[in-house]
């Protein structure tokens, strides 16, 4: 009889605990383009960062296109993985900013003399449309290893 009471109490506690857990969710809107999934932006149509490294020389390319955009600013930063706690550090002399009054921007910069390690390009795009709305998008290139 005591075993039945203990089992009943234990079962009641388990049911009570599982019914009191909170469920959360977040909604993200995505657009399907070129068979890939990317976030849906209001102003930007596409934003891309590409990094290519040959003979310790990095070619950093960033481009974006806006919808009804009157100005675009892109800030490029070449980053190197520190190897500790997923920290990326800016590479000295590899930070560029360009602004243009148009709906498309494509920027290419280079940095030579890279040491061995893992690199990526960070591009921060700020787009402004004719209604005065501003949108900021950060994209990262794929990581590239230098032996």
pLDDT in tens, 73-102: 999 999 999 988 889 999 999 999 999 999
Spatial separation of the C-alpha atoms in residues 108 and 125, rounded to whole Å: 14
What's the mean pLDDT in 13-28? 54
- Tokens 């039945």 correspond to what residue? 4
Q: What value does the mean pLDDT of the chain take?
A: 85
Q: Which of 108, 4, 127 is nearest to 50 (CA)?
A: 108
Tokens standing for 41? 């932006």
Please list the residues that pair with 99 across neighbouring strands: 73
Q: Which residues contact 25 (CB under 8 A, 6 or more apart)?
A: none
Q: Which among 47, 37, 52 is positioned nearest to 143, based on CA atoms?
A: 52
Confidence (pLDDT) at 86: 87
CATH topology of domain 28-146: Immunoglobulin-like (2.60.40)
Distance CA 63, CA 136 (A): 14
pTM of the prediction?
0.72
Q: Give the pLDDT band of residue 29 (cuts 50, 70, 90).
A: very low
User: Higher model confidence: residue 60 or residue 34?
Assistant: 60
The model's confidence at residue 37, banded by pLDDT at 50, 70 and 90, is: low
State the average pLDDT over residues 49-54: 97
């Amino acid at each position: 009889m005591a075993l039945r009471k203990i089992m009943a109490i234990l079962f009641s506690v388990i049911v009570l605990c599982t019914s009191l857990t909170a469920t959360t969710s977040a909604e993200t809107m995505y657009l399907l383009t070129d068979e890939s999934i990317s976030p849906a932006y209001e102003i930007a149509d596409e934003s891309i960062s590409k990094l290519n490294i040959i003979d310790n020389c990095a070619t950093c390319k960033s481009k974006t296109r806006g919808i009804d955009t009157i100005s675009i600013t892109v800030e490029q930063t070449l980053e190197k993985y520190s190897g500790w706690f997923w920290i990326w550090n800016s590479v000295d002399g590899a930070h560029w900013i360009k602004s243009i009054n148009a709906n498309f921007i494509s920027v290419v910069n280079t940095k030579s003399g890279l040491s061995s390690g893992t690199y990526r390009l960070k591009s921060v795009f700020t787009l402004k449309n004719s209604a005065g709305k501003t949108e900021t998008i950060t994209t990262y290139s794929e990581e590239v290893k230098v032996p």
